[in-house]
Amino acid sequence: MNIKDIINKKENKLELTKEEIEYVVSNYVNGSISDEDMTLLLSAITKNDMTTEETYNLTIAMLNSGDKIDLSSIEGVKIDKHSTGGIGDKTTFVVLPLAASLGVKIAKMSGRGLGYTGGTIDKLESIPGFKTTITNEEFIKEVNDINMAIVSQTENLVPADKKIYALRDVTGNVESIPLIASSIMSKKLASGSDKIVLDVKVGKGAFMKNLEDAKRLSRIMVDIGNKHGKETIAILTNMDYPLGNTVGNSLEVIDAIKTLEGKGDKNFTNLCIILASYMVSLSKSISVEDAIDMVKTNLYNGEGLKKFKEFIKYQGGDLEGLKTSNSIEIYSNKSGYLTDIDTMKLALLVRDLGAGRVNKNDNIDHTVGVELFKHINDKVEANDLLLKVYTNKEINTLEYLNLFTISDKNIDDIKIVFDIIK
Ligand code: URA
């Protein structure tokens, strides 16, 4: 077998065999295939796509490149949740404690930020003392003790993805459905849970800009999970606008706490209720409607918040020590209805405040970000507070003001969930 022939095949839109895919993954990981050749192949995949069979084989070849986490010593059904990534996406901090407070077992491995803003691990690291690296034994004990744990992915969890993702990132091959599906699902399958809830983001602030692509990505990921014996559900959710009230690491933790206190943004709270309910439904094999009632109860009686605090304390974190930078307030210069927010531009601005990374090894500033005071379709008066920008840097306030479109008429209500794929 040789890489040139395999590249040729994909460039000519032919289907690669399981053996060819295994050959590529193992030889790229061990350094026998060069970055140049791998780039040619990844570009051919981005351009010419892969079949479901090829994508499944790629996922399994990647899965087999490293460790697989054994969660068999945790009693009961283990449920994982994964978001394809959004702006201000702190759902994990609300959804997991709600589900865990109802007895769902969640052993979650998360990553750092890849795109514009911090990842779950970055956000947790904004909490002084919080340990994102613990031993496997401690990880399992924590889930047995309090039903949930969130740790940083171990070094040897799908090393093929680490190497391939880094190359995709610098060669313009991130936005390929089979490459995204295999990247996500190889890590999910390696993490050892029994069932998986995927939150597939759709819209201006997501990888998948339209519903059709999001459905295709979801279908492939769900099929890969199910084929591997892990019941998988994809929930396609709206990512046109920032999620919740904040974007930025410590600010998102604070916003999650507010949401668990029942004082969060309405749409974000509903999104969290839906995601947690699917986890509860899968875990207990009950209807989603019944699960929604249970989740709402534990949101409004404070059990979810109690579980979040228990989890933070268990991993050494001190919520009292959360810090934010000084803030600059941005006021509206006209009245009307908020009909649009430039979500991607907002994400870039927040990244440039220091909340996200440009390069993989950049340090991030946990204390910076933004807090939104108006959401889509809210009535806005001239001089109303739109946004607080938390930073110690000088900023161009007009750039922030221009993120908001204020019109005379409001728009149709926005959907939170577009589709469910099983
Ligand atoms: N998240 C991942 O883990 N991989 C991708 O390729 C895209 C999003």
179-205 pLDDT, tens digit per residue, is 999 999 999 999 999 999 999 999 999
Tokens in use for 337? 């209805």
For helices 91-100 and 266-284, angle between their N-to-C axes, nearest 10 degrees: 40
Which atom of ligand 1 lies closest to the CA of 111?
Answer: 3
What's the 401 CA to ligand 1 centre distance in angstroms? 31
Residue nearest to atom 2 of ligand 1 (CA): 184
The CB of 85 under 6 Å from ligand 1? The reply is yes
Q: 79-320 sits in which CATH class?
A: alpha beta
Mean pLDDT of 162-181: 93
Q: For 10-30, what is each residue's pLDDT tens digit?
A: 999 999 999 999 999 999 999
Mean predicted confidence (pLDDT) in 272-277:
98
Q: State the distance from the centre of ligand 1 to the C-alpha of 159, rounded, in angstroms.
A: 14
Residues noted as catalytic: 82, 161, 168, 183, 187
The CA distance from 20 to 312, in Å, is: 45
Confidence of residue 227 (pLDDT cuts 50, 70, 90): very high
pTM for the model stands at 0.96
Written as six digits, the tokens of 305 are: 């918040």
- Residue ranges per structural domain of the chain: 3-48, 79-320, 323-407
> What is the tens place of the pLDDT at every residue in 289-342?
999 999 999 999 999 999 999 999 999 999 999 999 999 999 999 999 999 999
pLDDT bracket for residue 169 (50, 70, 90): confident
Whole-angstrom distance, CA of residue 93 vs CA of residue 168 = 29
Task: Tell me the average pLDDT across 45-64.
Answer: 98
**What is residue 311's predicted lDDT score, i.e. its pLDDT?**
98
Placement of tokens 């005071």 in the chain: 373
The per-residue pLDDT of the chain, averaged, comes to: 96
178 lines ligand 1 (CB under 6 A): no
CA-nearest of 174, 183, 175, 159 to 55 is 183
Ligand 1 centroid to 84 CA: how many Å?
7
How remote is the CA of residue 228 from the centroid of ligand 1, in Å? 19
| Inter-residue contact 211 to 292 (CB < 8 Å) | no
Q: How many C-beta neighbours within 10 Å does residue 319 have?
A: 16
184 lines ligand 1 (CB under 6 A): yes
Q: Does the pLDDT at position 363 exceed 80?
A: yes
183 lines ligand 1 (CB under 6 A): yes
User: 323-407 domain in CATH 3.90.1170.30?
Assistant: yes
- Residue 112's pLDDT is 83
CA 378/CA 116 separation, integer angstroms: 26
Neighbours of 369 (CB within 10 A): 32
Q: Where are the beta strands (DSSP E) in 276-402?
A: 327-331, 336-341, 369-372, 379-380, 385-390
Residue type, position 235, single letter: I
Please tell me what DSSP assigns to residue 319. G
